[in-house]
Amino acid sequence: MQDRWFTDWPPSPRWPHYTRSNAGEVLPTPASPLGQQFTWEKGICLGWRDGYVNEGVYELEEFDERYPEACGFFGGYFYINLSNVRMQGVRNPAVTVEQLDLAFFGDHPDVPPYTPHPDDDRPDLVPKIGEYLGWVMSTTAWPEFDEEKAQTIALRANRPDLASLDDAGLVAYARTTQPMLQKLFESHTRTSSGSGIAPGILFAVGQAIGDPTVPMKLVAGLGDVDSAEPSYAMWELSRQVRASAELSAAFDDGVTGLLERLRASGSPDATSFLAGFDQFLVDFGSRGPNEWEISADTWELRPELVLAIIDRVRFQSDDESPRIRNQRRAEERAALTEEVRARVAPLGEELAGQFEAALVAANQLAFRERTKTNIIRAVHEGRMAFRELGRRHAERGTLRDARHVFMLLDDELEPFVADPASFTDTLAQRYADWLELWDLIPPYFIVDGQVPPLSAYQRRGESGAVAAVVGEVLQGVPGCPGTITGRARVVTDPGDPGDLSPGDILVAPLTDPAWTPLFMAVGGVVVDVGGQISHAIIVSRELGLPCVVSATGATERIPDGSLIEVNGDTGAVTVLEVPS
């Protein structure tokens, strides 16, 4: 392998700092060549740029036409452009660079300092930014996003019979998603930027009244969070299992072959469960581990991933329902809102007005999860078309493995359809090289555009992390309030949760929607990476679960089975006891 992956972007001289923070929970693994170019470069990245421009923070000519600097790909890994994001703190009068760093990237010790650039200050953009801010702090509903939700649901409902399409038809169907991805991510960008505003203002409010826990408590239990919907649906399925001796026994026998056994049973309980499960896959089958990567398996493709989660959640008692948890958080938020409102009032009208605006701006957190869910549905339809293309060419022998189809570049799709045999060897070699990237640990930050060669990357399993000892505190970023003590269960694959049990603390390297249903099976969550608006926090707040993110190295340093205390108010994870 060369020291540079063949689809890597050139680093930006204008915006030279990049980070894997938050990026690591979007694409934790190397992007496939087709995923990077088809999904991201020809869709998502363009929408990202458009969203920034429409917010008023940038002008279109500030972006490179080929490689919009909102993000980057190095060593095959996806990065967020830290320098570019920071312009929202420089040019937006409502947010500071420091607040953005905390919200988006966590309290990481190696965050490169902000160094002003002569072109950073753009007072001419302030009026349009002001319009955007006014909109964020006054909007409680966003019909455009609801329309996009209906559009993407209809896309899945109207999926053609892919097996009946010829190769050109499959590529054409997949290409219908690219303009959708651009538009959907433009919407997502506006909500993602808006998501940092409420925590930032509430942080200042908390400082003013001497209570730093205010921000996270006042954005908990918001309700109507689309990324939590699969968790609620899984909970209902788990209740069916828990209430049925037959279904419980079937799950006791293991999830391998479970669906086949239930279909063969034909009993009322099995029939009812299968009907609900099949509908779940229609509604949420686009979700799964690494769902932004077009080559990755999802719940529709590997339903046993869902069954494994239900198998753990079924042991929770009914009073641990996520709806009950959410209601508790909502009630606490309502009471705290009145308390903080009373404490802020004597401090002046300006602070009181900012507080009220922040409460409205918190809606952006829910909007963000809706826009993301919309995107994932569109990504999945392209995935399914290419899966069919790879399957049939593996059967014909023009691909040595169906997965090799994801080694194509975007502009190679039509040539592949015309002459697939000419790509056989090239795609096989690319696949072998791509798998080597999976063994590498990408640098957390790329500073000043200095991208290390692949030969300098650390390899997985070589971190040299030292196990934490009794009394040691791993300091992370507060996620969802509350304190809980329980056994740490280190899980690195959401499809293999082991013997995760009620009251345990899930310790995970990252979280996405494939992980968050596991939150219902445990009492608390600790995550290696993430900031104050990361997916783990938003969903843990929705489900009312104490959570700490950005606890660097937690999965490597906390021995499985340790007794730990998770303080979601302070971000402290304390080791109380380790296995002998």
CA distance 323 to 109: 37
Helix 229-243 × helix 304-313 angle, to 10° = 70
User: What percent of the chain clears pLDDT 90, i.e. is strictly above it?
Assistant: 67
pLDDT for position 108: 66
pLDDT for position 88: 84
pLDDT for position 73: 98
**One domain, residues 409 and 497:** no
- Helix (H), strand (E) counts: the chain: 23, 14
**One domain, residues 45 and 190:** yes
**Is the pLDDT score of 106 beyond 60?**
no
Of 437, 460, 492, which closes a domain? 437
**One domain, residues 198 and 65:** yes
Q: Which of 320, 308, 321, 316 is nearest to 251 (CA)?
A: 308
pLDDT for position 532: 64
**One domain, residues 512 and 395:** no
CA distance 420 to 220: 52
CA distance 177 to 301: 19
Give Cα 335 distance to the centre of its chain: 30
**One domain, residues 495 and 554:** yes
pLDDT for position 545: 85
The average confidence (pLDDT) of the chain is 91
123 compared with 518, residue with greater pLDDT: 123
Of 418, 437, 456, which closes a domain? 437
Q: Which of 102, 116, 286, 279 is nearest to 195 (CA)?
A: 102
268 compared with 328, residue with greater pLDDT: 268
pLDDT tens-digit readout, 238-269:
999 999 999 999 999 999 999 999 999 999 99
pTM: 0.90
Residue 168 falls within a domain, yes or no?
yes
Mean pLDDT of the region 99-112: 72
User: What percent of the chain clears pLDDT 70, i.e. is strictly above it?
Assistant: 97
Nearest-10 Cα torsion for 79, 371, 294, 446: 0
Lookup: tokens for 484: 């809980």
pLDDT for position 531: 66
Residue 170 falls within a domain, yes or no?
yes
What letter would DSSP give residue 37?
Answer: I
pLDDT for position 506: 94
CA distance 79 to 274: 40
**One domain, residues 410 and 484:** no
**One domain, residues 88 and 150:** yes
pLDDT for position 322: 85
pLDDT tens-digit readout, 142-172:
899 999 999 999 999 999 999 999 999 999 9
Of 412, 437, 462, which closes a domain? 437
**Is the pLDDT score of 111 beyond 70?**
yes
The domain of 183 spans 18-110+127-219+361-437
pLDDT for position 105: 62
The model's confidence at residue 454, banded by pLDDT at 50, 70 and 90, is very high
**Is the pLDDT score of 533 beyond 70?**
no
In DSSP terms, which residues pair with 549 in a beta bridge? 477
**One domain, residues 72 and 145:** yes
Residue 288 falls within a domain, yes or no?
no
The CATH number of whichever domain residue 514 belongs to comes to 3.50.30.10
pLDDT tens-digit readout, 366-391:
898 899 999 999 999 999 999 999 99
pLDDT for position 461: 74
Which H or E run contains 488?
Answer: strand 483-490
Rounded to 5 degrees, φ, ψ at 153 are -65, -40
Mean pLDDT of the region 317-344: 88
Residue 145 falls within a domain, yes or no?
yes
Domains in the chain, number: 2
**One domain, residues 421 and 520:** no
**One domain, residues 179 and 60:** yes
The model's confidence at residue 218, banded by pLDDT at 50, 70 and 90, is confident
